Amino acid sequence: MFAVVKSGGKQYRTGEGQELVVERLKGDVGDTVELPVGFVADDDGIDLGQRTAKAEILEHLRGDKIHVYKYKAKKDYRKKTGHRQELTRIRILEVSNGS
């Protein structure tokens, strides 16, 4: 069985007990959060009902640094910047029916 979980404008294929790294979520380490589920698929087929997934926050971390270098030819314009995305590692505890 697997479920498609939505977080941070992205969708992740996951199952119970699996760990994911998603964009930063509000909450402290050890807190549980609920994420919306797009659909659940198992041997019986696909279920599109309203469901939620409970996940535990394991840690907050930052991704690798990405370097961005801009320049314009023959204009003496150069600009170098960097970015590190803030991330959260979560573990899916259960996928349940919605309210």
Structural domain boundaries in the chain:
2-97
pLDDT less than 50: residues of the chain: none
CA–CA distance, 92 with 2 (Å, rounded to integer): 11
Main-chain phi, psi angles of 52, to 5 degrees: -135, 160
* Structural tokens at position 5: 């979980």
CA–CA distance, 90 with 56 (Å, rounded to integer): 5
The answer to whether residues 59 and 89 touch, using CB atoms and an 8 Å cutoff, is yes
pTM, to two decimals: 0.82
Q: Got the DSSP string for 58-79?
A: EEEEE---EEEEEEETTTTEEE
CA–CA distance, 36 with 54 (Å, rounded to integer): 9
Output the pLDDT for position 40.
Answer: 87
